[in-house]
C-alpha cells in the first residue's frame, strides 16, 4: 500500500476541478423557465452590443499591425508579381505582431475581463506576465479570434434578428411594394401575414439565441483571458510548497538553536553543579547526615544530566550534524531495543533538513517496530537513487501494519509530505514489513 500524502490529495483535487468546464453563468440561466423575465436577456444583449466598439478597436489595432500583410495581399489580388521587398513584408508583419501585439492585447484583455461580468460574475484569476508568460499569448489569441471569428458570429446573429424583425413588420410595409423576406418575397399583405406569424412565434427564441452567443463568447473569453484551473492550482501549490519549505527551514533552525542553548547553557551549568556536589561530598565526613543528603543530590544531578543529554540528542543528535546520516543511523541502531543492522551507502550529504527528516523517520519507525511488530531484529538501508534519497526499514515481525490503528504511520506520512517526498508501506499479515521513504535529494 502507499500512504496518501497531502500533496497528492491536492493534486487530485486540482485535476477534478480542472475537469469542470468553464461555462458562463448565462448558459446555466438558459435552462431556467424564468429566463425571459429575468435580467439575463438584457445582460446578454448589453454584452453583445458592447462587443461592437471593442471589436472595432481591436480590428483597427490588428489592422495597423498587419498592414504589411495587407499590402502583400492587395498586390497578390491585383495580380502584381511580388518582389524581394514585397516578400520581406511578410516577416516584418510577423515581427510587428509578435512584439507589439501583446502590448495591444493587454488593455483590450482588461476591458474584456470587466465586460465578462455581464454574463459571468465569477471571480477570474489571471496573471500579468511578460513575453514569456503564456497568459500574454492567450490574450493575443483572444484578440485575433475576436477580430476574425467575431464578425462572422455576430454578423450571423444580426442577420437572424433582422430577418425576424422584417418578417414581423412585413404586413405593414408590403403596401409600399414587394418586400424581400430572406427566403422569399411578399407582394401583398396576405402573402406577408404567414411570415409575420412565424416571426412572432420565433421572437421569444431571439433572447435565447442572444444568451447562447453571449455565453459561448464569455466561455471563450474566460478560457483565454483567465488562468486555467490546473495552472492556477499549480501556482498555488508551488507557493504552498515554498512557504512550507521556509517553515521547515525555520523549524530546523529553531530546533538547532534550542539544542545549542541546552548544550552550551543548561547542560554546562548542570555539569558544574554536579562537580561542586562531588567536591562537597568528598569534603564531608562519611556517614554524616550532611554527607548522605549531598550524596543523594549528587546522584540526582548525575541522573538529570543523563536525561538532559538524551533530550538534547533527541532534539538534534550531534552525530548527525558532525558525521552525517550513515553514522547517525548506526548510532540510532546501537541504541535501539532490538538488534538492527545498517547499510548506508552515501558518498555525499543531502540537504540538512532532508537528512534530519530521514533520521527522525527511521527513529520513529524503529520505535514502532519495537512496540508493535514483535520482531527480534530489523534492517535499515539508506542510499541515493538519482536525485532521490531512499531509506528503508525492514522487520520480520507479524506484519499487518495499518495507519488507521494509530501506530504513528500517519505522522510519518505527514513528515514526509512536508519535504515533498513519499512513503510506501508493504505489511502483509505474517510479515515482513517494509517501510520505504523517498525524499528529494537536493533542497528546493
Q: Are 117 and 86 in contact (CB under 8 A)?
A: no
Q: Which of 51-55, 191-195, 259-263 has the highest mean pLDDT?
A: 51-55
- Do 27 and 211 meet the contact criterion of CB atoms below 8 Å apart? yes
Among the listed ranges 138-152, 208-222, 225-239, which one has the minimum average pLDDT value? 225-239
Q: Which helix (H) or strand (E) holds 156?
A: helix 134-173
CA nearest 67: which of 107, 94, 85, 106? 94
Which residues contact residue 426 at a Cβ distance below 8 angstroms, ignoring those fewer than 6 apart?
A: 1, 433, 434, 436
Q: What b/e string do you get for 300-330 counting C-beta neighbours within 10 Å, with b at 16 or more?
A: ebeeebeebeeebbeebbebbeeebbbebbb
75 has a pLDDT exceeding 80: no
Confidence of residue 1 (pLDDT cuts 50, 70, 90): very low
pLDDT of res. 328: 86
**Tell me, what's the pLDDT at 242?**
59
Instruction: Give the pLDDT confidence of 299-337 residue by residue, as tens digits.
Output: 777 777 666 666 555 555 777 777 888 888 888 888 888
Q: For residue 15, is pLDDT > 60?
A: no
Alpha-carbon Rg for the chain in angstroms? 38
| Pairing state between β 388-395 and 179-180 | unpaired
12 or 26: which carries more pLDDT confidence? 26
- For residue 18, pLDDT over 70 is answered with no
| pLDDT tens figures, 157-170 | 999 999 999 888 88
User: Which pLDDT band, with edges at 50, 70 and 90, does 238 fall under?
Assistant: low
Q: Where are the beta strands (DSSP E) in 72-215?
A: 179-180, 185-186
Tell which residue, 415, 73, 429, has the closest CA to residue 251: 415
Tell me the pLDDT tens digit for each residue of 119-144.
Answer: 988 878 777 767 878 888 888 889 99
More confident residue, 267 or 193: 193
DSSP 251-277: HHHHHHHHHHHIIIIIHHHHHHHHHHH
Task: Over range 374-386, report the average pLDDT.
Answer: 86
Q: Distance between CA 218 and CA 231 in Å, rounded?
A: 20
Query: Taking 80 as the threshold, does the pLDDT of residue 377 lie above it?
Result: yes
Identify the pLDDT of residue 30.
87
Q: What is the pLDDT of residue 132?
A: 79
Please give the Cα distance from 98 to 250 (Å, whole number). Answer: 45
Stretch 230-252: mean pLDDT = 57
Task: Please state the pTM of the whole predicted model.
Answer: 0.50
Give the span between the Cα atoms of 52 and 232, in whole angstroms.
31
pLDDT at residue 291 above 80? no
Query: Over 60: is that where the pLDDT of 241 sits?
Result: no
Q: What pLDDT does 131 receive?
A: 80
In this prediction, residue 360 carries a pLDDT of 83
pLDDT at 54: 93
User: For residue 385, is pLDDT > 80?
Assistant: yes
Q: Note whether 46 and 71 are within 8 A (CB).
A: no
- Give the pLDDT confidence of 180-213 residue by residue, as tens digits: 777 777 877 888 888 889 989 999 999 999 999 9
Average pLDDT, the chain: 77
Q: How confident is the model at residue 154 (pLDDT cuts 50, 70, 90)?
A: very high
Expressed in angstroms, the distance from the first to the final Cα of the chain is: 27
Q: Which residues pair with 378 in a beta bridge?
A: 340, 395
Parallel, antiparallel or unpaired: strands 388-395 and 433-440: antiparallel
Q: Tell me, what DSSP letter sits at residue 425?
A: E
pLDDT of 19 reads: 35
With a cut of 50, say whether residue 16 has pLDDT above it. Answer: no
Q: What is the pLDDT of residue 312?
A: 54
When mean pLDDT is compared across 14-23, 50-59, 69-78, 233-242, the lowest value belongs to: 14-23
104-130: average pLDDT = 84
pLDDT of residue 83: 65
Spatial separation of the C-alpha atoms in residues 113 and 100, rounded to whole Å: 21
Residues comprising the chain, all counted: 444
| pLDDT computed for residue 120 by the predictor | 86
> Which residues, 6 or more positions from 129, have their beta carbon under 8 angstroms from its beta carbon?
135, 136
Contact 380, 364 (CB under 8 A): no
pLDDT at residue 208 in the model: 93
**Is residue 97 over pLDDT 90?**
no
Q: Alpha carbon 91 to chain centroid distance?
A: 38
Residue 345, beta-bridge partner list:
383
Categorize the per-residue pLDDT at 178 as very low, low, confident or very high, splitting at 50, 70 and 90. confident
Q: How confident is the model at residue 155 (pLDDT cuts 50, 70, 90)?
A: very high
Q: Is the pLDDT of residue 57 over 70?
A: yes
Q: Phi/psi of residue 423, each to 5°? A: -130, 135
- 229: exposed, middle or buried (Cβ count in 10 Å: 0-12, 13-18, 19+): middle
Q: Check pLDDT > 80 for residue 342.
A: yes
Amino acid at each position: 500500500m502507499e500512504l496518501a500524502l497531502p500533496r497528492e490529495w491536492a493534486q487530485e483535487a486540482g485535476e477534478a476541478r480542472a475537469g469542470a468546464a468553464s461555462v458562463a453563468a448565462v448558459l446555466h440561466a438558459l435552462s431556467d423557465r424564468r429566463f425571459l423575465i429575468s435580467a439575463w436577456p438584457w445582460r446578454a444583449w448589453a454584452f453583445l452590443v458592447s462587443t461592437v466598439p471593442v471589436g472595432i478597436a481591436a480590428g483597427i489595432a490588428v489592422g495597423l499591425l498587419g498592414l504589411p500583410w495587407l499590402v502583400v495581399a492587395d498586390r497578390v489580388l491585383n495580380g502584381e508579381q511580388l518582389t524581394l521587398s514585397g516578400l520581406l513584408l511578410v516577416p516584418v508583419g510577423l515581427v510587428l505582431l509578435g512584439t507589439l501585439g501583446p502590448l495591444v492585447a493587454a488593455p483590450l484583455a482588461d476591458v474584456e475581463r470587466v465586460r465578462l461580468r455581464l454574463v459571468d460574475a465569477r471571480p477570474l484569476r489571471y496573471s500579468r506576465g511578460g513575453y514569456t508568460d503564456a497568459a500574454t499569448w492567450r490574450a493575443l489569441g483572444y484578440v485575433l479570434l475576436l477580430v476574425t471569428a467575431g464578425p462572422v458570429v455576430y454578423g450571423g446573429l444580426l442577420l437572424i434578428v433582422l430577418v425576424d424583425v422584417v418578417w414581423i413588420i412585413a404586413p405593414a410595409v408590403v403596401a409600399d411594394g414587394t418586400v424581400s423576406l430572406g427566403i422569399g418575397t411578399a407582394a401583398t399583405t396576405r402573402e406577408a401575414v404567414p411570415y409575420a406569424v412565424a416571426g412572432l412565434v420565433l421572437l421569444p427564441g431571439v433572447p435565447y439565441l442572444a444568451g447562447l452567443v453571449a455565453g459561448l463568447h464569455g466561455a471563450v473569453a474566460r478560457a483565454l483571458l483567465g488562468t486555467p484551473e490546473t495552472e492556477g492550482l499549480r501556482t498555488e501549490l508551488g507557493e504552498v510548497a515554498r512557504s512550507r519549505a521556509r517553515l521547515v527551514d525555520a523549524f530546523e533552525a529553531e530546533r538547532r538553536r534550542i539544542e545549542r542553548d541546552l548544550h552550551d547553557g543548561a547542560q554546562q551549568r548542570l555539569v558544574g553543579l554536579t562537580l561542586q556536589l562531588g567536591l562537597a561530598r568528598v569534603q564531608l565526613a562519611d556517614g554524616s547526615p550532611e554527607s548522605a543528603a549531598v550524596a543523594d543530590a549528587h546522584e540526582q544531578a548525575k541522573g538529570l544530566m543523563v536525561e538532559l543529554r538524551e533530550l538534547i540528542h533527541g532534539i538534534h543528535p550531534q552525530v548527525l550534524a558532525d558525521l552525517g546520516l550513515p553514522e547517525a543511523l548506526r548510532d540510532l541502531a546501537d541504541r535501539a531495543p532490538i538488534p538492527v543492522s545498517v547499510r548506508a551507502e552515501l558518498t555525499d550529504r543531502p540537504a540538512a533538513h532532508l537528512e534530519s527528516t530521514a533520521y527522525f523517520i527511521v527513529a520513529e519507525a524503529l520505535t514502532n517496530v519495537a512496540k508493535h511488530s514483535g520482531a527480534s531484529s530489523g534492517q535499515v538501508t539508506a542510499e541515493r537513487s538519482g536525485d532521490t534519497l531512499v531509506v528503508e526499514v525492514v522487520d520480520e515481525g507479524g506484519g499487518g501494519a495499518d495507519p488507521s490503528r494509530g501506530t504513528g504511520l500517519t505522522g510519518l506520512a505527514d513528515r514526509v509530505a512536508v519535504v515533498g517526498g513519499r512513503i510506501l508501506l508493504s505489511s502483509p499479515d505474517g510479515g515482513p514489513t517494509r517501510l520505504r521513504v523517498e525524499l528529494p535529494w537536493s533542497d528546493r
